[in-house]
């Protein structure tokens, strides 16, 4: 299993960011081909504001999803969130090797 981890910094307009993120961005994420699971959470006591995890069966599936039309729409919307709400997105990928 491979995971994309999205870390968002604190936005200048949290209410506007939340509206857009929950009503538009996560809807786009839900359309990614090959997406096995996704979760999102606000982070307490951190330099980061929000975390999202997107799980795929393989790195190839993750790459395919992000290069698809849906993936391009997610990337474009991520850029819009950064510009419109003054936040910064950091993306990490990981291969899951343990779960309990």
Q: CB of 71 within 8 A of CB of 31? A: no
92, 93, 98, 100: CA torsion to nearest 10? 60
pTM of the predicted protein model: 0.92
The model's pLDDT over 25-59, given as tens digits with 9 standing for 90+, comes to 999 999 999 999 999 999 999 999 999 999 999 99
Domains by residue range for the chain, with CATH: 2-95 (3.30.70.100)
Task: At 29, give phi and psi (nearest 5°).
Answer: -60, -40
pLDDT one-digit tens code per residue, 59-88: 999 999 999 999 999 999 999 999 999 999
For 12-22, what is each residue's pLDDT tens digit?
999 999 999 99
Residue 85 · residue 11 · CB < 8 Å: yes
């Amino acid at each position: 299993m491979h995971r994309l981890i999205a870390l968002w910094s604190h936005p200048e307009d949290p209410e506007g960011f939340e509206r857009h993120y929950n009503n538009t961005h996560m809807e786009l994420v839900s359309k990614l081909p090959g997406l096995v699971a996704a979760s999102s959470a606000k982070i307490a006591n951190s330099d980061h504001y929000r975390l999202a995890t997107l799980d795929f069966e393989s790195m190839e599936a993750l790459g395919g999803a992000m290069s698809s039309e849906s993936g391009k729409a997610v990337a474009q919307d991520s850029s819009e969130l950064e510009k419109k709400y003054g936040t910064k997105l950091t993306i990490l990928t990981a291969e899951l090797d343990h779960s309990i």
